[in-house]
Amino acid sequence: NAGVTQTPKFRILKIGQSMTLQCTQDMNHNYMYWYRQDPGMGLKLIYYSVGAGITDKGEVPNGYNVSRSTTEDFPLRLELAAPSQTSVYFCASTQGGAKDEKLFFGSGTQLSVL
């Protein structure tokens, strides 16, 4: 199993550009999450999904969109990149919800918006 795979690892965007961060998992997990981590800060939840076709906002959803057409994939879309979206983005998954199970994280995407 590859676990949780995120692409790209690094990306530089200009203000106003758009991009999609890809996240896929091969563990048949129901729950998937997108977090961002700013320097010296904890992880903040952007969006999450409890299964294919179901998504919901987290703590900091503004400026982002997600979709979950399959169990495996949970892409994160930035439509109009802003400098405030410069951060490290982590995708994570767990089978039945993180209450009792560990989160499996992808290796992260370092995004800079200039």
Partner 1 sequence: RKEVEQDPGPFNVPEGATVAFNCTYSNSASQSFFWYRQDCRKEPKLLMSVYSSGNEDGRFTAQLNRASQYISLLIRDSKLSDSATYLCVVIFTASKLTFGTGTRLQVTL
Q: Which residues bind partner 1 (CB under 8 A)?
A: 31, 33, 35, 40-45, 48, 50, 56, 58, 88, 90, 96-100, 102-103, 105-108, 110
Among residues 86 and 105, whose Cβ is nearest to partner 1?
105
For CA atoms 27, 20, 6, 105, give the dihedral sign. negative
**Taking the complex as a whole, how short is the minimal distance between the CB of residue 53 and partner 1, in angstroms?**
16
CB of 84 to partner 1, least distance (A): 18
Instruction: Give the integer Cα–Cα distance in Å for 67 and 49.
Output: 9
Residues 12-21 as b or e (16 or more Cβ within 10 Å = b) = ebeeeeebeb
The label of the residue with tokens 């400098």 reads 83
Nearer CB in complex with partner 1: 44/77: 44
